[in-house]
Amino acid sequence: MASRNTLAIMLFAAFFLSAVLAFPVSAQGPWYHEDLNTISKTWNTWYPAASIAVMVAFLVAAVAYMIGYGFNLRGLKTWAKAEFYQAIASALLVVGLVLLTFLMFEYGFSAILPKTGTGPTDPYFVAYNYLVGAEKTASGDTRLMLGLYIADGRDAAGKVIWKDAPSAIWSWKDAPEKIKDLGDLVAYNEASAKAPTPIEDLLIFRYQSIYVANFALELISTFSSYQNSGVNIPIGLFLKPLLIEPMHMVAHMIMQVLLMTYMMTFLLQFFETTMFSVFLPLGLFLRIFPPTRSAGALLMAFAIGFYVVFPITFAFITILSDDTSQEPFNPAQMGVDLADFDACSDDFESILGETQQNTSPEVVAKINQFGSFLPALWIKVFFYPIVIFAVTLTFIKMLSPILGADISELGQGLMKMI
């Protein structure tokens, strides 16, 4: 009898607190208040269906118990009892979802995240700013070029400020006279924002620099003289293997890293937009029924893992990683001094000799400077996400059994995918 009373009190308390904490919460609070309002709004749509589903779960358990009792099927009776407890757990989750989410943010994650003027740091904001600049948030609709960065991106009321002030935002095309090279860009960022330059801007700037440096070289490399006898002397050809192709290779790698950067950005947007508004309610709904419990619990674990753990891990790695934009970079110092070559050689032998002579370790080292910034970026864009995914999937693997999913085999498959 005591356990039944306790259960009734728990259900009532959860329902009461859920009603008391019926959102909207204050929009002027920390970043997650907006998300809590979204969850509350979404759950309002799902709540009646989920409540009915819980009632159906209780009914099915009761009918199964009656059949088990009637036919004296011990296994069915045990199953019905287990289902009854699962239905109670589902009822608690359905009634208290918004409350549990609120507690998770308010007393859980806000405690572990570094504080700013408006509350705990927004890990999504940090992650977006790291990759492409803060304008890429799923709720934002304007660009923030060249890493222009104001405070933490929100005003005292927690509102995204640049969303409403596009005129204050520079663009690359509009500001060439203001920012001429990466040094200016870094200095500008340091003066205005104290934030690292987004990887996207770094990559585009590097690509442009290489392109500018390569432009004239490519023209020269195609210069050929010919005679009617059929002899064609490509005088500028020696530039191709020495300068042009290495730069092309670096440009190609930049494109790959850029693609990965954009993929990570949209992945973040996808997680931010869908995890708590689609996956969590759907997962909770599916968790109510025995055949779909495993899938539902997995979806819930996905929702919490990808919405919370993924961006927080991302933010921590961002904070810990170095800023590659600080590395000295000057296109004028790149590569080989063309004065080392005598472009007026009149035979192949002398051209070849000069090329070999000038392909000394020092020259090769100079050429390698083209791509010296790439390893750091490569690690940031290809290796760090693997670490972040490993942490998130480990969390999901641990959380899923607690919520009712059996993903031991699926979990192994997920890890293998990484």
Partner 1 sequence: MGIGKNKALLLFAVFSLVLLSGCTYTDSSGNEQPVKVCASGEASEGIQVLWSSWQGVLFTAVNITFLFAAAVYALSGVVNHRGLRVWARNQFYEGIVTLFMAFFFIGFVSFLCGLDVVPLLGLKGSIGSANIWDASEQLLEEFTDNLWKGFGLTVTVYIIVAALGTFTYAVNTSGLGAFISLGSAFSQMTQGIPMALTAIMGGIVLMKAQILILKLAEKLFVFLMPTGILLRGFGATRGLGGALMALAIGFYLMYPFAIVLMYSTISEDYNPEALQGDVSEFDVGFSSMRSGGGWISDLYEKIVGHDSVFETLGICVVGTVIIPGMTFIMLTSFVKGLSRTLGEEIDVSNLTRMI
Phi and psi, residue 30, nearest 5°:
-65, 175
Residue number with CB closer to partner 1 (14 or 381) = 381
Size of the site for partner 1 (CB under 8 A): 77
Least CB distance from residue 298 to partner 1, whole Å? Answer: 5
Q: 23 or 109: whose CB is closer to partner 1?
A: 23
Residue (95 or 250) nearer to partner 1, CB = 250
Nearer to partner 1, 239 or 312 (CB): 239
- Separation in Å, CA 49 to CA 53, 264, 278: 6, 34, 14
DSSP secondary-structure letter at 113?
S
Rule CB under 8 A: which of 71-90 touch partner 1? 71-73, 75-76
- For residue 387, give both structure tokens: 């670490």
Cβ neighbours of 256 (radius 10 Å): 14
Residues 6 or more apart whose Cβ sits within 8 Å of residue 287: 90, 93, 293, 296, 297, 300, 403, 404
CA 8 from chain centre, in angstroms, equals: 42
d(C-alpha 318, C-alpha 320), whole Å: 5
Q: What is the dihedral of CA 411, 413, 417, 418, to 10 degrees?
A: 30
Beta bridge partners of 120: 115
Least separation in angstroms between CB 156 and partner 1: 25
- Residue 416 interacting with partner 1 (CB under 8 A): yes
Element (H, E) at 196: none
Query: What x-and-dash track marks residues 295-334 binding partner 1 by CB under 8 A?
Result: x--xx--x--------------------------------
155 vs 218, beta carbon nearer partner 1: 218
CB of 215 to partner 1, least distance (A): 5
- First-to-last CA distance in the chain? 50
Which of 118, 209, 221, 324 touches partner 1 (CB under 8 A)? Answer: 221
Nearer to partner 1, 173 or 194 (CB): 173
State which of positions 100-119 bind partner 1 (CB under 8 A). none
Task: Tell me the DSSP string of 28-70.
Answer: TS-THHHHHHHHHHHHHHHHHHHHHHHHHHHHHHHHHHHHHHH
Q: Residues in the chain, how many?
A: 418
Restricted to residues 118-137, the positions that interact with partner 1 (CB under 8 A) are: 136
Binders of partner 1 among residues 246 to 305 (CB under 8 A) are 247-248, 251-252, 255-256, 258-259, 261-267, 269-270, 273-274, 278, 282, 286, 290-295, 298-299, 302
Stretch touching partner 1 by CB under 8 A, among 96-104, 119-127, 139-147, 363-371? 139-147
CB of 315 to partner 1, least distance (A): 20
Write out the two tokens for 116: 């700013």
Helix (H) or strand (E) holding 116: strand 115-116
The residue from 19, 66, 151, 219 that contacts partner 1 (CB under 8 A) is 219
- Based on CB atoms, which residue is closest to partner 1, 42 or 120? 42
State which of positions 39-58 bind partner 1 (CB under 8 A): 42, 45
* Interaction of residue 222 with partner 1, rule CB under 8 A: yes
Q: 263 to each of 35, 256, 269, how far by Cα in Å?
A: 23, 11, 10
Residue 18 found at the interface with partner 1 (CB under 8 A):
no
CA distances (Å), origin 195, targets 11, 52, 174, 335: 47, 50, 22, 30
Q: Would you count residue 16 as binding partner 1 (CB under 8 A)?
A: no
Nearer to partner 1, 83 or 106 (CB): 83
Binding piece for partner 1, criterion CB under 8 A, among 17-25, 54-62, 91-99, 210-218: 210-218
Bridge partners, residue 363, by sequence: none
Coil/strand/helix, residue 150: coil
Single residue of 211, 348, 382, 383 touching partner 1 by CB under 8 A:
211
CA atoms of 366 and 353, how far apart (whole Å): 19
